[in-house]
Structure 1
Amino acid sequence: HATTELNRISSNLNLPYYVKVSAIKIYKKLNKMNILKGRSINAMVAACIYYSCRKWRVNRMFKEILEETSCSEKDIRRCFHVLLNELNLKVPAVDLNSLIPKYALKLKLDRSVVNSVITLLESNKGSMFIMGKDPKGVCAGALYLICKFKNMNVNQERIAEVVGVSIVTIRSRYKEFLKNLNPELKDQISCNHPPYLAQRSGGQDKIFA
């Protein structure tokens, strides 16, 4: 059952073969250690997949994995922590830059926005106000700041919905980025003419702001 479930989720998420193999190995190791007794098989499978994605830097959000299973978020997170503790593993760092294009696509933002957000994140890499913070919240705050600078018609509510964080978190990260923003970088990422995703349709431009 576990292998079937793992194959199903891996297929639905188009995961590379090596990620699937890695998740299977972790699950089998836990099973051999009798860690799975009394725990949800599906939740542990989801936790193994999530860890493998993080380990191999394959850009799949926790929310995406959650949507592919009938388990609760609480159960999967609990299994994830069990996995880390029992196998003495550390949570692989999230590559923030790899998350931005996916969020931008859902928000219908163009490449110039993506580039500016990545520039902002790179310039603050290692900063104390980012360290230890939820990667999604950091991305959301950076996205909101850039959208404001470029006069994009994207509000906090929409970013919160797409990224999966609260509006309060977005505001906090936004204020921190703004407080630590280098004036030269501000000039670099600001834009007088807001960029759009334009698609020619029926002789008219279909504009996505």
Structure 2
Amino acid sequence: MRRPNARRTESAERNLAFALSEIDRVATANGLPRSVRDSAGLVYRSAVERNLVKGRPIDVLAAASVYCSCRISGIPRTLDEIAENANIGRRELGRTYRHLSKELGLGLSPARPQDYIGRYCDALKLGTEVRERALSLIRKASENDLLSGLGPAGVTAAAVYISAIICGEHRSQKQVAEAADISEVTLRSRYRELADGLGIRIEFS
């Protein structure tokens, strides 16, 4: 008969193997580099060592570790994207991410809209002028307290959409929404709020 310690060790090893496979799966689905996967593995192992995993689903912990790693590495991915590709709820992912970040002392600040500008502009093949204009809009919106409580993906998409029109590099609402992985309804709500709040008068299509 195996001793209890041996059984616990085997169980811990199985859980770790499953967590690492989940990290690899979620990272692959989100197109993330090997460095992010390795970093996420370290986050998960640290959580195990600090006894932060008890009572929490392994797949959620793995996805939260990936999101932590993205934030640490400065690679823009939203909670919605990670949650969707991990097949888990956004709220549960957010709670677990905040738990790990706090208890591991990662010192991660909230995601900022400007972190996503380059990624969305690359996806839409937009030039430097659009990027700079979008960054300026987001800064002005922040100064005017227009961003409180709004998700960074929607705000960034709205700023990019407006900036592309102003700079003569128009992209459709569908194209911008797909690049930001949000609905066209969300995009319309955000760009109207942004335009109204900043007094921008342009024709939206």
TM-score range, shorter chain: 0.5 to 0.7
Contact 1:6 1:49 survives alignment (8 Å): yes
Aligned partner of 1:42: which letter? Answer: D
Flag the structure with higher helix content: 2
Aligned CA distance change for structure 1 residues 73 and 15 (closer, same or farther; 3 Å):
farther
Question: Is 2:35 the counterpart of 1:13?
Answer: no
**CA distance in structure 1 between the partners assigned to 2:198 and 2:190 by the alignment:** 12
Match of 1:44 in 2: 61
Q: Which consecutive unaligned segments of at least 5 residues does structure 2 have?
A: 1-16
Match of 1:170 in 2: 187
Question: Is 2:121 the counterpart of 1:104?
Answer: yes
Q: Percent identity?
A: 30
Give TM-score, length-normalised by structure 1: 0.67
Deviates more, 1:171-180 or 1:2-11: 2-11
Question: Is 2:100 the counterpart of 1:83?
Answer: yes
Which structure 2 residues correspond to residues 79-158 of structure 1 after superposition, within 5 A?
79-84=96-101, 92-158=109-175
Question: Is 2:80 the counterpart of 1:54?
Answer: no
Q: Give 1:175 deviation, angstroms.
A: 1.9
Q: Give 1:142 deviation, angstroms.
A: 0.8
Match of 2:178 in 1: 161
Count how many residue pairs are aligned between Structure 1 and Structure 2: 182
- The alignment partner of 1:59 has SS state of coil
Q: Give 1:8 deviation, angstroms.
A: 6.5
- The alignment partner of 2:160 has SS state of helix
Flag the structure with higher strand content: 1
**CA distance in structure 2 between the partners assigned to 1:7 and 1:134 by the alignment:** 26
Moved over 6 A (4+): none
- C-alpha RMSD of matched pairs (Å): 3.3
Give TM-score, length-normalised by structure 2: 0.68
Q: After superposition, what is the alpha-carbon deviation per residue over 1:79-124, rounded to whole angstroms, capped at 9, x for unaligned?
A: 3354356657776222433311211121222222122212222233
Q: Give 1:146 deviation, angstroms.
A: 1.6
Contact 1:54 1:93 survives alignment (8 Å): no
